[in-house]
Amino acid sequence: MNYTPFLFVAFCISILVILYLVARLRRVRGQLMIVEEVLDDIKNGNPNRRVLARISDMTKRMCYLINEIAVENQLQLLKQKQSEQAYKRLMTSLSHDVKTPLASLVGYLEAVENGFVTGEEKENYILVAVKKAYQLKYFVENLFEWVKLDAKEQVFHFELCDINELTRNIAAEWISDLESSHFEYEFDIPEDECFVCVDSHTYTRILNNLFQNTLIHSGGNKLNLQLLENEKQIEVIFVDNGKGISAVDIPNIFERMYQCDSSRFAEGNGLGLSITKELVDANNGKIEVDSECGKGTTFRLLFQKAL
Amino acid sequence: MISLIQTEILKFRRQKTGLIMAGVMLLFWSGITFWAYHVPQGDFESFYVRYGGYIAMLLPFMIGLLFVKIYHAEYQNDTLKGLLQVPVTMYQLFFSKIFFVFLMAVIIMLVNCLLVIAAACICGVTDMELHQVVMLIKLFFLAASGMVFAMFPVFLVTVFVSGNTIFSSTVCFIYSLMGIIGVSQFAGIHPISSLLNILFGGQISITGEKSINLVCAADIIIPVIMTAVIVEIFYMVKRGDRFK
Amino acid sequence: MDEYVIETEQLTKVYGEQTAVDAVSIHVKKGRIYGLLGRNGAGKTTIMKMVLGLTSVTSGQIKVFGKKMKGQEKKIYPRIGAIIETPGFYPNLTGTENLEIFAKLRGTSCPDAVKNALEVVGLPYRDKKLFSKYSLGMKQRLGIANAIMHDPELLILDEPINGLDPIGIAEIRNFLQDLSKERGKAILISSHILSEIDLLADDIGVIHNVRLLEESSMEGLRRKNQKYIMFRVSSTATAAQILEQKYGTVKYRIEDDNAMRIYDMSVDISVVNEIFITNGVGVYESRVCDESLEDYFKEITGGVGIA
């Protein structure tokens, strides 16, 4: 039988196979060169490069992995940049927050010094200047506290405290302020002891912040402080009947520099609640807020009882 | 390139064209079988050669029209701007479509092989041997590939008019008709005639002499090379002004 | 890494007698969204086509990623994702199949790229609906999905919001801003709608009558155009105190020792002038800055405006 046609066919087939393999090889080589170039680019600081791989590529898994690494890298850089930017933003807005009241303070004092005002007006000016100075002082103190917290340099002394007693004492100190601001108040603190492991100083700060917040920002006239105990936790509930916080703002109120009243010229600053949250977190507690516009706000602090 | 051809196949999904082609083939086949049924048969070889001859006449139309259709599809669907950014060059696109057409032609002819064998059984041709079936396959395969090469001038025209369906289809028709009808006159000039002469030389008036065969072969190959070169130049020149 | 992702220099396109683009030089930076603003037919699409190499350049230079396009196509194209005019796809295939064709040809950056891209633009994955049955908005979304599928560093989008409903427009806007700010991609979009460019773009190039009228950052443009009363006085400290005395709380900002801005447009500038002067503060300059972005564009386009 004539074998020639079969040989011919076999020859053709082997040629085709060789061509196919050569094509694959060239493709892989091409891909590797691209990978090299992309990796070089990523190393030089451009994390946006990707290596594209087709489904039939032999190198596809490697390419996908490289892309994943690049994406990770990018996310890290992004987070870093974001926190740098947040810091810069903080500094910028803070400098204005200091410049503006400082300028007006200086204005008032200069007016007194130069004798532009006399008598009762002069007294008024001095009073206003003092108030502004206290504002500045409070602000700068807050700022330092926040910076320390942020840099994790705050030192806490955790010890067993009777949270009921502690709360009672703090609340007592606020009574005069509440009364002068015409606030009705009700404190519902159990008589027995309840021990938690907290830093008493920071707990005081937390409650002070909440009181301050209510007095200045809530716009209401009734305040209710209640401590509720259950088996494992104790809940500190802080209710006011002020103007409340809108649903849009609620997720953000604990962010630094956030102010619900979007004018940047209100009294106070955006740090108070942010500090409060940091302090609560540092004490292994949780803080939640419930509010409805026009109906008031409820802050809830949760602490674990010391067993 | 392989991925391009694969995508050509993917683009062909849900097209009525495939069904139409199959329908035409079957119609043709049943017609010839019906006619052959009533005619006394000689041996298997002459039987299938005759079939092959008739089917080979149908091929140019199908190949040409198929190519025009898929080439025009890119312009019609405005997908060129997307494809060019992959990046795929027009030249690669052109050849991948030719490859696809080639694949289709081969598949058609192989299916026809089966159909011819079936017809042979129906018409009562008894002396089928293995080597004859092999020859049958070989003939049909050569017919398919040869015909694709012979249609290169039509492809060239299609490219030149940027896939304008009406003009290209008309050219395809006229070209195929001329090639088939003038099979003896145009041997050596018209690629289709040359091809038909090479394949079925024994059945047509001019005997299959070696020198004529070579001339015919050259007549097929030269247009192919010319087309490849001209198309390349055309794409290079026209590059960029495709989209006014 | 070069400064500009896209840089064109005196880019010109002439069709026979007609000039489609005349000596346009734009600069697109990384991590920013560049808006090409201009009326229909001003030449925006032609510019984009030339940048992509789809149309030949009559004169001028284009550099993408710091390199010229010619000869480097295989390396540069995979880094770009684009939509030009209405996106073209195969009508006899579903959306997913269409994207899979492009994924097969181009390669993808991760195994589920098609699925992810469809998810981002809000189209169903492996849906049975053929492209011929798609609405205009869906076609546009598919085009966007095709452009982002391979995670390119540069996006060139020709009127991307064309045909989208308001919610879709907002989604795409958020998505583009996310890509630009967080992932640092460069985006070039064109539109004839001023409000969209205003919301989206960081830099803007105004194309009018085939020429580039102006190229600047949006910030710069806005700063030029925000409403406020600008005062230059002898002493901002005193001025601030006087202002507070007269108006109580009023929004103002101290720029430095002599410059301040009052953002509250309800104050009467003449009254402020007077109280400053009568209280011994010298007023060197007071001005109402009152332009809106639209007025500004009307001005630079010679009164015709951006339609």
Q: How do residues C220-232 score in pLDDT, each as one tens digit? A: 877 766 677 888 8
Best CA proximity match to A55, nearest among C114, C225, B211, B76: C114
AA letter at C253 = R
CB of C91 within 8 Å of any CB in chain A?
no
> C76 and C210: one domain?
yes
CB of A45 within 8 Å of any CB in chain C?
yes
B-chain CB neighbours of A23 within 8 Å are: 1-2
Give the model's pLDDT for residue B118.
81
Residues 107-146 on A with a CB inside 8 Å of C are 107-108, 110-111, 116
Is 90 exceeded by the pLDDT of residue B100? yes
The residue that leads in pLDDT, A65 or B53, is: A65
Helices A60-113 and C236-247 pack at an angle, to 10 degrees, of 80
Please state which of the ranges B27-36, C152-161, C278-287 shows the lowest mean pLDDT: B27-36
Q: A265 pLDDT band (50/70/90 cuts)?
A: very low
Neighbours of chain C (3+ CB pairs under 8 A): A, B
Q: What does the block give as tokens for A215?
A: 């007095």
CB burial class (10 A; 0-12, 13-18, 19+) of residue A25?
Answer: exposed
A25: closest CA of chain C, how far (Å):
17
> C216 and C123: one domain?
yes
Q: What does the block give as tokens for C17?
A: 């007698």
Q: Percent of chain C beyond pLDDT 70?
A: 94
> C163 and C272: one domain?
no
Q: B242 pLDDT band (50/70/90 cuts)?
A: low
d(CA C252, CA C161): 38
How many contacts does A have with B, using Cβ atoms within 8 A? 7
Is C126 inside a domain boundary? Answer: yes
Give the model's pLDDT for residue C95.
92
Is 80 exceeded by the pLDDT of residue B93? yes
| Sole residue written with tokens 């405005």 | B78
Q: B238 pLDDT band (50/70/90 cuts)?
A: confident
**Segment B185-201 mean pLDDT:** 75
B-chain CB neighbours of A5 within 8 Å are: 134, 138
C-chain CB neighbours of A109 within 8 Å are: none
A-chain CB neighbours of B138 within 8 Å are: 5
B209: closest CA of chain C, how far (Å):
47
> C160 and C19: one domain?
yes
Give the model's pLDDT for residue A139.
78
The residue that leads in pLDDT, B48 or C219, is: C219
Is 70 exceeded by the pLDDT of residue A187? yes
B225: closest CA of chain C, how far (Å):
25
Is C294 inside a domain boundary? Answer: no
A-chain CB neighbours of C32 within 8 Å are: none
Best CA proximity match to A171, nearest among A208, A205, A121: A208
What residues of chain B have any CB closer than 8 angstroms to a CB in chain C? Answer: 3-4, 6-7, 10-11, 13-15, 73, 77-88, 239-244
Is 50 exceeded by the pLDDT of residue B187? yes
pLDDT in tens, B20-42: 888 888 888 888 878 777 776 66
**Segment A216-238 mean pLDDT:** 83
Give the model's pLDDT for residue C268.
81
The residue of chain C with its CA nearest to that of A266 is: C249
pLDDT in tens, B209-231: 666 777 778 888 888 888 889 88
Domain boundary among C202, C220, C238: C220
Is C250 inside a domain boundary? Answer: yes
> C167 and C86: one domain?
yes
DSSP state at residue B64: H
> C262 and C204: one domain?
no
Give the model's pLDDT for residue B243.
45
| CB atoms inside a 10 Å sphere around CB C199 | 14
Give the model's pLDDT for residue B97.
93
Is C296 inside a domain boundary? Answer: no
Q: C124 pLDDT band (50/70/90 cuts)?
A: very high
Name the maximum alpha-carbon separation found in chain B. 63
| Mean pLDDT computed over every residue of chain C | 86
Across the interface, whether the CB atoms of B83 and C53 are under 8 A apart is answered no
Give the model's pLDDT for residue C227.
72
The residue of chain B with its CA nearest to that of A57 is: B3
The residue of chain B with its CA nearest to that of A55 is: B3
> C181 and C235: one domain?
no
CATH of the domain at C232: 3.30.70
Is C74 inside a domain boundary? Answer: yes
pLDDT in tens, C232-258: 888 888 888 888 888 877 777 787 888
Domain boundary among C220, C246, C271: C220
Is C302 inside a domain boundary? Answer: no
Helices C95-106 and C136-148 pack at an angle, to 10 degrees, of 20
A-chain CB neighbours of B134 within 8 Å are: 5
Sign of CA dihedral A100, A104, A105, A106: positive
| Mean pLDDT computed over every residue of chain B | 82
C228: closest CA of chain A, how far (Å):
15
Residues 132-151 on B with a CB inside 8 Å of A are 134, 138
CB of A80 within 8 Å of any CB in chain C?
no
Give the model's pLDDT for residue C306.
55
The residue that leads in pLDDT, B17 or A154, is: B17
> C73 and C216: one domain?
yes
d(CA A225, CA A53): 63
**Segment A115-126 mean pLDDT:** 83
Q: C1 pLDDT band (50/70/90 cuts)?
A: very low
**Segment A234-249 mean pLDDT:** 80
> C81 and C139: one domain?
yes
- Considering only the beta carbons, identify the residue of C151, C240, C279 that sits closest to A104: C240
B7: closest CA of chain A, how far (Å):
13
The residues pairing with A224 across neighbouring beta strands, listed in sequence order, are: A186, A239
Is C306 inside a domain boundary? Answer: no
Q: Which domain holds residue C82?
A: 4-220
Contact yes or no for C114/C100 (Cβ under 8 A):
yes
d(CA A234, CA C125): 49
Across the interface, whether the CB atoms of A5 and B2 are under 8 A apart is answered no
CB burial class (10 A; 0-12, 13-18, 19+) of residue A200?
Answer: middle
Give the model's pLDDT for residue A262.
44
Q: Percent of chain A beyond pLDDT 90?
A: 9
Q: What does the block give as tokens for C287?
A: 């001005």
**Segment C139-165 mean pLDDT:** 91
> C269 and C140: one domain?
no
Give the model's pLDDT for residue B67.
92
Is 90 exceeded by the pLDDT of residue A297? no
Contact yes or no for B165/B185 (Cβ under 8 A):
no
pLDDT in tens, C30-88: 889 999 988 888 888 999 999 998 888 888 989 999 888 877 888 899 999 999 988 99
Is 50 exceeded by the pLDDT of residue A258? yes
> C251 and C211: one domain?
no
Q: C94 pLDDT band (50/70/90 cuts)?
A: very high
Chain C interface, best mutation among B4, B9, B85, B88, by max C CB count within 10 A: B85
- Considering only the beta carbons, identify the residue of C15, C87, C106 that sits closest to B244: C15
Q: What does the block give as tokens for B97?
A: 């479509």
Give the model's pLDDT for residue C303.
61
pTM for this model (two decimals)? 0.71
Domain boundary among C220, C239, C257: C220
- Considering only the beta carbons, identify the residue of B3, B134, B138 that sits closest to A54: B3
Q: What does the block give as tokens for A128?
A: 């206003």
Best CA proximity match to C80, nearest among C110, C101, C54: C54
- Considering only the beta carbons, identify the residue of A63, A74, A103 that sits closest to C237: A103
CATH of the domain at C150: 3.40.50.300
Element (H, E) at A148: helix A119-150
CB of C100 within 8 Å of any CB in chain A?
no
Domain count, chain C: 2
CB of B79 within 8 Å of any CB in chain A?
no
Please state which of the ranges A237-251, C10-24, C186-200 shows the lowest mean pLDDT: A237-251
Please state which of the ranges A92-106, A262-276, C208-222 shows the lowest mean pLDDT: A262-276
Is C133 inside a domain boundary? Answer: yes
| CA-based end-to-end distance of chain A | 98
Is 70 exceeded by the pLDDT of residue C292? no
pLDDT in tens, B136-155: 888 888 888 888 888 898 89
Give the model's pLDDT for residue C144.
93
| CB atoms inside a 10 Å sphere around CB C74 | 12
Query: If DSSP codes are grouped into helix, strand and coil, which group holds residue C250?
Result: coil
> C271 and C203: one domain?
no
C-chain CB neighbours of A46 within 8 Å are: 1, 153
- Considering only the beta carbons, identify the residue of C1, C185, C238 that sits closest to A110: C238
Phi-psi region for residue B14, left (φ > 0), alpha (ψ -120 to 50) or beta? left
Across the interface, whether the CB atoms of A107 and C241 are under 8 A apart is answered yes
Across the interface, whether the CB atoms of A56 and B134 are under 8 A apart is answered no
How many contacts does B have with C, using Cβ atoms within 8 A? 75
AA letter at A180 = S
| Mean pLDDT computed over every residue of chain A | 82
Sign of CA dihedral A118, A119, A124, A129: positive
CA distances to B147, B176, B209 from B215, in Å: 16, 20, 10
**Segment A133-156 mean pLDDT:** 77
Give the model's pLDDT for residue A205.
83
Give the model's pLDDT for residue A267.
45
